[in-house]
Structure 1
Amino acid sequence: MTPSTAPVSLLARLRSGGIRPEDSADERLNKSLLVLATGLVCVASTLWLAVYWSLGPRLSATLPFVYQLLLAGNLAFFLYRGNFRSFRVTQLGLFLFAPFAAQWAIGNFITASGILLWGLLAPIGAILCIGARESLAWFFAYAFLVTLTGFFDYYLADAATYRNALVPVETSVVFFALNFLAVSSIVFMLLRFAIEQKQIIARRLAEAHALLEQEQARSERLLLNILPGPVARRLKENEKNIADGFADVSVMFADIVNFTQVAAGMTPAQVFSMLNRVFSRFDEQAEARGLEKIKTIGDAYMVAGGLNSDNADYTAAIADLALEMRDWLRNQTTGTGVLLDLRIGIGTGPVVAGVVGKKKFIYDLWGDTVNLASRITTEGVPGMVQVDTATYLRLRSRYDFHPPQTLYLKGKGDTVVYRLIGRRADEDVISTTELDIVLD
């Protein structure tokens, strides 16, 4: 270790003494301040005694030496036991009473050179290490000791010692005490005010931070309601042109049958209430199965499986969701006694998924699979779940279907579709590998 780095290393050891990993930031700072102050006071008392001797007066080294032993011993006991509360009180007590004991041993204000000013470290240390409110008791104790010392100096001063002084010794003693009290009070009050304001600012910052975290969490939830989790994270990282290709996705569309006629006899508020209740229920059912709701378009609902890893058997989950949505909606009414029903179409295959727009953006799907599922839905029969051939091949071992139907679809021509009945009672569940073999 070089001489230039030795003081820094010593200060670093003093400041980090007694700090534990579980301590809060405030607790770490309080410990660092008090341990550092202890070290500095020990060094300063040694220098004070050396200067005092060099100028001529021969003062016994017993009192400063005992003072340093008490400070160091108390510090060592704290480092061993780790009780900062006890160490804080005892060390501040030594800071407070030792200077007064030294002045009383030396003489009065004048002969002791105002050494009791060192006692101001106690209330100042209390502000920094305990708190502004708790420091008042320490300052009152300091002021009381200054006043008591001045009182005794006033009545017990040896006037003969200062016979040639221009100002009577009694007057000097009074003004020593007044000056000490005035300066100490100003320093203490300014420091206390600064600490109080700092604490107020810290509380406001903490409150603002808490509100910011709440708003961030609310924005996060809102974003996740619009976009899948991985896509939302990429968007927050300012990624542009978010678009991904998926080789295999099951897409489902569901349209409310005769919605225009049903809504014609309802008020706008009733229409909104009905759609909100229906689509909220669909959202809950889709989320429970690990599926991604894509969007609603008027009275149509779009959901997809295979865009995330929440459900490996997503095609079966889509089929179960379609059956549950259909059966649940059949038991609902518009409030006017009209029963509701769905047309549902499912297609399975490759899609492109991405975020469209910079403002009021939307997560959407494109591709032949999406178009096929949409056309199957449009040409569907109310109350029926129609699927394409790829979906049928994947589900036929576990679900019952009506015989295949051939529909003419716009842009597709004649297309074979299968109408889903439901899960087989004696369902023979096959593995994902077997499903892939079936598709091949």
Structure 2
Amino acid sequence: MFNLFFGVPPSVPLRHRRMYYVALIGFFLALLLHSSWLVAFSLLGIYPLAYFNILSVAIFVLGLYLIRSRGLILSMMLLGSFEVLVHQTLAVYLMGWDYGFQFYVIVIASFICLGHFRNLAIPLGVAAFSGLLFILLYFVVQHLAGEHYVLAEPIRAAFFAMNCSVLFFQLTIFAFLFSAAARNAELELKNEHEKSERLLLNILPRSVAERLKAGEEQIADNYNEVSVLFSDMVGFTSLSLERKPEEVVQIMNSYFAAFDELAVQHGVEKIKTIGDAYMCAAGLPTHQPDHAILIGRMAVDMLAASKRITAELGLPTGIRIGICSGPVSAGVLGNMKFVYDIWGDTVNMASRMETSAPHNAIQVAESTYNLLKGDFPMQRRGRMKVKGRGEADVYLIGEPEPGQSIR
């Protein structure tokens, strides 16, 4: 039954729901009030107002129907406001000021301002006209022809008390609706702000996000002590050709979700993913003296997680990991879909370490080896030709597995 009268029809847009409830409640209260007036004026012999209330009841019944079935909210609010203004002008003209009918003009000023009008001139104009009419009722209308109908003092007092009480009740209802709408808007704004914050922090480091929100337009920094890690899935390209796209996404998400958890656990900054490659770094945007140890622990746990997931899913894949330590540059790139990225020779070398690493192994440059020796078991792989760098010593983290070739 509640939904029958107060449920919002699907045709009413979300932005108009507050206005829908305001119109529906206002018309429902007006229908009850005008129906009671129709009975009262008929019994008291005030037939001009009784006949007018027949028209008023028809207007508000029709208005409720059109609001519910056709969504004609704004037009019905204007029609209802016009009816009340004309009705109260006639009541003051016929009965005088002491019955309190003029107070409903004040209700219209608040009622119309709760509507969601695109053109603000409409509600402001109606509200201004209501205020002007209230003044005219007091200084002009009630004195035009005096009181056409003189009722006993108890009846006059009863009308005044009833109209004041209804006025108070209607204004309270409208104030409650406005307050509820404001609270809901504030809550939705807070939720959207928190959602935006979470999305922003999924894209940018917290300190970088704070700088952007503070108004810094271009963010670019140099870091002298950073360790960069690249990883890539071995055999994943052929696997993706054999599986459905949704299966590939699920498999990749299994690995990357595990890597993301490890990044948070070790205090490592995830930079980005490119296809089946995963890139992260330690030592930025906040300086970390133990950046190489953090990235080393991250790499060891990534390798273990990869082996576990590969075994659980029964996949013929593996992982290669490459690490290099040294200076990098970092910043926010782009205006649309911007990203926090890093670049420099250290980044390039870390990528080279990954592409030349053995299957299921962690290969590091000499700069990283010098920072990790003594903290991790290391093995020298030898000198290798590195693209763009000539020959360089490279190392592997961990003891060699039985039968493993490091060449």
TM over 0.5: same fold? yes
SS of match in other structure, 1:248: strand
1:417-432 map, 5 Å: 417-421=394-398
Measure how far apart 1:246 and its partner are.
Answer: 1.2
Q: Which of 247, 258, 267 is matched with 1:281 structurally?
A: 258
1:117-156 map, 5 Å: none
> For residues 175 and 197 of structure 1, do their structure 2 counterparts lie closer, same or farther at Cα, with a shift above 3 Å needed?
same
Does structure 2 retain, via aligned residues, the 8 Å contact 1:290–1:310?
no
SS of match in other structure, 1:338: coil
Cα distance in 2 for residues equivalent to 1:324 and 1:335? 16
In structure 2, the partner of 1:241 is 218
**Could you list the per-position Cα deviations for residues 323-359 of structure 1 after superposition, in whole angstroms to 9, with x for gaps in the alignment?**
1111221233388743321111111111111111111
Measure how far apart 1:311 and its partner are.
Answer: 5.7
Q: Which of 226, 246, 260 is matched with 2:203 structurally?
A: 226
Does structure 1 retain, via aligned residues, the 8 Å contact 2:235–2:316?
no
Cα distance in 2 for residues equivalent to 1:359 and 1:205? 32
In structure 2, the partner of 1:380 is 357
Cα distance in 1 for residues equivalent to 2:313 and 2:272? 27
1:238-387 map, 5 Å: 238-309=215-286, 312-333=289-310, 337-387=314-364
Q: Which of 159, 166, 172 is matched with 1:189 structurally?
A: 166
Measure how far apart 1:308 and its partner are.
Answer: 4.2
Cα distance in 2 for residues equivalent to 1:200 and 1:360? 39
1:202-221 map, 5 Å: 202-221=179-198
> For residues 316 and 375 of structure 1, do their structure 2 counterparts lie closer, same or farther at Cα, with a shift above 3 Å needed?
same
Give the gaps of 5 or more residues in structure 2.
Answer: 1-149, 400-407
Does structure 1 retain, via aligned residues, the 8 Å contact 2:221–2:329?
yes
Cα distance in 1 for residues equivalent to 2:275 and 2:162? 74
> For residues 310 and 176 of structure 1, do their structure 2 counterparts lie closer, same or farther at Cα, with a shift above 3 Å needed?
farther
**Could you list the per-position Cα deviations for residues 260-309 of structure 1 after superposition, in whole angstroms to 9, with x for gaps in the alignment?**
12222222121111001110110011111111100001111001111144
Does structure 2 retain, via aligned residues, the 8 Å contact 1:331–1:339?
no
SS of match in other structure, 2:336: coil
Cα distance in 2 for residues equivalent to 1:262 and 1:196? 64
- The AA in structure 1 aligned to 2:290 is D
In structure 1, the partner of 2:122 is none
Which range moves more in the overlay, 225-234 or 397-406?
A: 397-406
Cα distance in 1 for residues equivalent to 2:384 and 2:366? 12
SS of match in other structure, 1:382: coil
Measure how far apart 1:405 and its partner are.
Answer: 1.7
SS of match in other structure, 1:303: strand
Does structure 2 retain, via aligned residues, the 8 Å contact 1:353–1:365?
yes
In structure 2, the partner of 1:179 is 156
Measure how far apart 1:320 and its partner are.
Answer: 1.0
What value does the CA root-mean-square deviation take over the aligned residues?
A: 2.3
SS of match in other structure, 2:392: strand
In structure 2, the partner of 1:70 is none
- The AA in structure 1 aligned to 2:310 is T
> For residues 335 and 399 of structure 1, do their structure 2 counterparts lie closer, same or farther at Cα, with a shift above 3 Å needed?
closer
- The AA in structure 2 aligned to 1:261 is S
The structure whose RCO (Cα within 8 Å, separation 6+) is larger is: 2
In structure 2, the partner of 1:389 is 366
Cα distance in 1 for residues equivalent to 2:364 and 2:299? 11
1:44-63 map, 5 Å: none
Cα distance in 1 for residues equivalent to 2:261 and 2:312? 22
Measure how far apart 1:404 and its partner are.
Answer: 4.7
SS of match in other structure, 1:217: helix
> For residues 211 and 202 of structure 1, do their structure 2 counterparts lie closer, same or farther at Cα, with a shift above 3 Å needed?
same
Q: How many residues align?
A: 252
SS of match in other structure, 1:282: helix
- The AA in structure 2 aligned to 1:176 is E
Cα distance in 2 for residues equivalent to 1:379 and 1:203? 63
Q: Which has the larger radius of gyration?
A: 1
Give the gaps of 5 or more residues in structure 1.
Answer: 1-171, 423-440
Cα distance in 2 for residues equivalent to 1:306 and 1:335? 33
SS of match in other structure, 2:377: strand
In structure 2, the partner of 1:415 is 392
- The AA in structure 1 aligned to 2:223 is F
> For residues 336 and 398 of structure 1, do their structure 2 counterparts lie closer, same or farther at Cα, with a shift above 3 Å needed?
closer
- The AA in structure 1 aligned to 2:169 is R
1:79-98 map, 5 Å: none
In structure 1, the partner of 2:36 is none
> For residues 397 and 187 of structure 1, do their structure 2 counterparts lie closer, same or farther at Cα, with a shift above 3 Å needed?
same
Does structure 2 retain, via aligned residues, the 8 Å contact 1:291–1:310?
no
